[in-house]
A and B are shown apart, each in its own frame.
Chain A
Amino acid sequence: MAAPKVAVVGAGVIGLSTALCIAETCPSCSVMVLSDQFSPNTTSDVAAGMLIPHTYPGTPIHVQKQWFKETFTYLFAISNSAEASEAGIHLVSGWQVFKNTPKEELPFWSDVVLGFRPMSEAELQKFPQHRFGQAFTTLKCDCPPYLLWLEKRLKATGVQMYTRKVADLWELHSEYNIVVNCAGIGAHQLVGDEKLFPVRGQVLKVHAPWVKNFIRDGDGLTYIYPGIHRVTLGGTREKGSWSLSPDPGATKGIFDRCCSLEPSLWGAQDIKVKVGLRPSRQCVRLQREVLSQGGVKLPVVHNYGHGAGGFSVHRGTAKEAARLVGECIAALQGSSSRAKL
């Protein structure tokens, strides 16, 4: 096969990073990104992009840790380079605080982030309602900058991007040899995955440039993540809700909870409300599938269902997806040479 034509469906952080990995590992491939939405209108654009992993119940911990480590290492190098500001990647330090001591005092990722340690008594005094905490330094991927930077890297390697609503993966079978499905929450309709469900997240993006540290409540519901220009205040985790409309009650709840963690936020300006649907699943669907109709086959690589942890593992799953694309190419080449006999 001279130049395998690969379509990547989806242009959020998963679609773009997967397309980039494929272009990097398979220079002879002709890669195209197809999506009905691009930055700043993807689910990724709503997220804060903090590298704090979410745990997938259906994936072995050592695999999740590997994905996180690969992602952290990759972004750490960018944060340390001249491209950091353009790519929107920066280090941020802060605290995760718990009202009750967590069962697991050392999360699986504690040795991947920097300087992880329990908070001192003096540090905890700033959080009178919380009894235990962890301090560490991690990375943040600000969007849109990170997605725009990925798009720029893709264009530089010859990958083209098209705005197109794909209703059915099969519709691509005549134009492409391999399809990579990074449709995120869109996979619910695109491939009819009933195991994929939205977890609705509402956030506030505010102007509060004096907030330099992150604060996260260990219950995952309240968080303050300072980005380059805005601070993301969160949030909600509404399982099964498909609504993309901002909920004023949730806005007030988020603001009140964040101000109780960080009182200076009362002075925050220019509050913007955003909603995203985390594409949630027991485990990330990262696997090959072959669609066939009437003797014609279309190899598919699925890479979706990252839920609340997309940014934390994106590079790791992108590399795995690129590896699976490599397997598809090998299989296609094998079968085409068999056909010649």
Chain B
Amino acid sequence: MRVAVIGAGVIGLSTALCIHEQYHSLVPSLEMEVYADRYTPHTTSDGAAGLWQPYLSDHGNLQETLWNKETFDYLLGHLGSPAAKEMGLFLISGYNLFTQPVPDPSWKNIVLGFRNLTPKELELFPGYSYGWFNTALMLECRSYLPWLTNRLMQRGVKFFHKKVESFQEVSDDGMDVVINCTGVRAGELQPDPELQPGRGQVIKVLAPWVKHFIITHDIKSGIYNSPYIIPGSEFTVLGGIYQHGNWNEENSAQDHKTIWENCCRLLPALQKAKIVQEWSGLRPARPWVRLERETVRHEHFQAEVIHNYGHGGFGITIHWGCAMAAARLFGSILQEKKLASPPQPRL
């Protein structure tokens, strides 16, 4: 049983690990290979600050809310383990700020200690009249992706630096199942008009006195188009750009100015912070995550494909729930191929 995982961002690597962990002992012939043209630290995941926080509204997508919760609980369970530091996993508290009252989010009972801000706390943020405080998790991909890679290599999973041009290509190589975790460029393997880039830009600075995340929201300008400040274990990430449909991965001077001015207005002490790096990336935006099976047929080849892409700006937040769901789909493929079904009682 040969499995090809395409894509080595947080989705590809975690899905690979989840499937391998669950099925390797059930399917001794399982051989897994990862194909990607970009590996850490050059994936979209590497640019993210790594804060676990879903969008404000789940748009009735309860499935995704459940996957977010599964991810949070899974990570919380790893907090006390020796692996946490190597994974880049730690607790962090912080603020979500609004210019008007808003309903509580779907994730208020998933995070720890969720509450509204007091008037005195709001004094810290002139211009904002309402907000939340909670404790959540950070999962820094510049640590997490290498950690996942090490776990996979220990399990004998092979890695290839290669851009896959078509499903047929991997099927011709003898792959039985293809896990499609190609993120924003999934459209190159199979057209998907629902998938669009949500371009973001961030400035990484040295500001170790900042201990809280601060995320502002401007309901009119939309998600991530309002300044945010997220302190990591080494750098603090300043952001607040979301440009739907923009494929440009080059840093924009105008966006730099927007981010810098807005974040310094939010936290005046940032003016003294040293800028270390600037980065742009394309969030793989989709109305909902594409997580489903497909039998891809073309002339004389057929491949079982599990799609797992379109996680927008919440990939880290939702990754493990999606990996588990993809693993369940993998299990159903195995059952159909009668490779991992439990012994049937003889009637």
Q: Which residues of A contact B (CB under 8 A)?
A: 79-86, 88, 90-94, 114-115, 117, 119-120, 122-123, 126, 135, 137, 142, 209-213, 226, 228-229, 263-264, 266-267
The chain A residue sitting closest to B140, CB to CB, is A210
Which residues of A have CB within 8 Å of B210?
90
The chain B residue sitting closest to A88, CB to CB, is B209
Interface of B is mostly: mixed
Which residues of A have CB within 8 Å of B118?
114-115
Cβ-defined contact, A213 with B93, below 8 A: yes
Partner among B86, B93, B231, B269 whose Cβ is within 8 Å of the Cβ of A93: B93
Q: How far is the CA of A88 from the CA of B268 in the complex (A)?
A: 14
Residue B82 interfacial (CB < 8 Å): yes
Partner among B212, B234, B268, B272 whose Cβ is within 8 Å of the Cβ of A209: B234
Cβ-defined contact, B121 with A115, below 8 A: yes
How would residues 220 to 250 of chain B score, 1 for a CB under 8 Å from any chain A CB and 0 otherwise? 0000000000010110000000000000000
The chain B residue sitting closest to A86, CB to CB, is B272
Cβ-defined contact, A81 with B269, below 8 A: yes
How would residues 66 to 83 of chain B score, 1 for a CB under 8 Å from any chain A CB and 0 otherwise? 000000000000011110
Cβ-defined contact, B234 with A82, below 8 A: no
Which 4 A/B pairs are nearest by Cβ-Cβ distance? A84-B269, A267-B85, A210-B90, A90-B209
Cβ-defined contact, A114 with B120, below 8 A: yes
- Beyond the given pairs A123-B113, A213-B93, 16 more chain A to chain B contacts, judged by CB atoms under 8 angstroms and listed by A's residue number, are A83-B269, A84-B209, A85-B209, A86-B272, A88-B209, A90-B210, A93-B135, A122-B112, A123-B112, A209-B233, A212-B90, A212-B92, A226-B211, A229-B208, A264-B79, A264-B90
Q: How far is the CA of A83 from the CA of B209 in the complex (A)?
A: 12
Q: Which residues of B contact A (CB under 8 A)?
A: 79-82, 84-86, 88, 90-93, 112-113, 115, 117-118, 120-121, 123-124, 133, 135, 138, 207-212, 231, 233-234, 268-269, 271-273
Q: Measured between C-beta atoms, what is the minimum distance from B224 to chain A in Å?
A: 22
Q: Measured between C-beta atoms, what is the minimum distance from B122 to chain A in Å?
A: 10
Q: Measured between C-beta atoms, what is the minimum distance from A336 to chain B in Å?
A: 46
Instruction: Find the residue from B80, B121, B135, B231 having the highest chain A CB count within 10 A.
Output: B135
Cβ-defined contact, A85 with B92, below 8 A: no
Q: Measured between C-beta atoms, what is the minimum distance from A269 to chain B in Å?
A: 10
Partner among A79, A81, A93, A228 whose Cβ is within 8 Å of the Cβ of B208: A228
Which residues of B have CB within 8 Å of A212?
90-93, 211-212, 231
Instruction: Find the residue from B121, B138, B208 having the highest chain A CB count within 10 A.
Output: B208
Q: How far is the CA of A288 from the CA of B268 in the complex (A)?
A: 41
Which residues of B have CB within 8 Å of A209?
208, 233-234
Cβ-defined contact, B272 with A85, below 8 A: yes
Q: Measured between C-beta atoms, what is the minimum distance from A212 to chain B in Å?
A: 5
Cβ-defined contact, A84 with B212, below 8 A: no
Pairs A–B under 8 Å by Cβ, sample size 15? A82-B271, A82-B272, A84-B268, A85-B269, A85-B272, A91-B212, A115-B115, A123-B112, A126-B80, A210-B88, A212-B93, A213-B211, A264-B80, A264-B84, A264-B90
The chain B residue sitting closest to A122, CB to CB, is B112
The chain A residue sitting closest to B112, CB to CB, is A123
The chain B residue sitting closest to A265, CB to CB, is B85
Q: Measured between C-beta atoms, what is the minimum distance from B36 to chain A in Å?
A: 27
Partner among A92, A135, A211 whose Cβ is within 8 Å of the Cβ of B90: A211
